[in-house]
Amino acid sequence: MERCQGMCELCTKLPATNEYTVSPRSDESIEYQVALCDMCMDQLDANEDGNYWRCLEGSIWNPEPSVQALSYRLLQKFKSQDWANDTINSVELDDNTIQWAMSAYEIASVHKDAYGNLLENGDNVVLIQVLNVKGANFMAAKGTIVKKIKLVEQNTDQIEGKINDQTIVILTKFVKKA
């Protein structure tokens, strides 16, 4: 890859010495590799607080779809931090690039009920046991129907739903799909 002879396409500070494949990608007409320095390669697997990745505020604007997809994917890991969330909201990427970036999370983010049924946003579920609702003064009875659930993106063991007009987090092992 010719780009590996220049600077890192994420931090733009150190020479690029690695070719990183942004997968999965099926469109062969688009370059799916990003030229990275050793430091960025090392940081890809590290679970740091995100300060190292402040460079993504610039790399997300790179014209290469592969750099945009990797930058967007990494920003998603830190979207709870203001700087990353602001960056995500400030850029308008092609829908295909966003789908490519998020495809790495699709397999991991499968929510299933206690019986292995796939749960999706908007599904209705039934509680299969009595739940003591922490922070509230009530118990949710077995058989309670929770309508229009919302999946918790970062945790496949949790969903959100309303019981007694309060939005609560419910563990998927305590529900069955209605």
Span 18-77, pLDDT tens digits:
999 888 766 655 678 899 999 999 998 776 767 899 999 999 999 999 999 999 999 998
Cβ atoms within 10 Å of 116's Cβ, excluding its own:
8
Share of the chain above pLDDT 90, in %: 59
- Where does the pLDDT of residue 136 fall: very low under 50, low under 70, confident under 90, or very high at 90 and above? confident
Burial-class residue 117 by CB neighbours within 10 Å (0-12, 13-18, 19+). middle
The two tokens of residue 70 are 């990797």
- Cβ atoms of residues 38 and 17 within 8 Å: yes
Query: What local confidence, expressed as pLDDT, does residue 85 receive?
Result: 92
Domain extents in the chain: 2-106, 111-177
Query: What local confidence, expressed as pLDDT, does residue 1 receive?
Result: 46
Closest CA relative to residue 151, chosen from 126, 121, 109, 176: 121
CA 33 to centroid of chain Cα atoms: 20
Q: Is the pLDDT of residue 163 over 70?
A: yes
Query: What local confidence, expressed as pLDDT, does residue 106 receive?
Result: 55
Q: Is the pLDDT of residue 153 over 90?
A: no
The CATH code for residues 111-177 is: 2.30.30.40
Amino acid at 12: T
Nearest-angstrom CA–CA distance, 68 and 86: 16
**Which run of H or E residues covers position 70?**
helix 65-77
Nearest-angstrom CA–CA distance, 172 and 156: 8
Quote the pTM value: 0.57
Query: What local confidence, expressed as pLDDT, does residue 32 receive?
Result: 83
- Cβ atoms of residues 125 and 163 within 8 Å: no
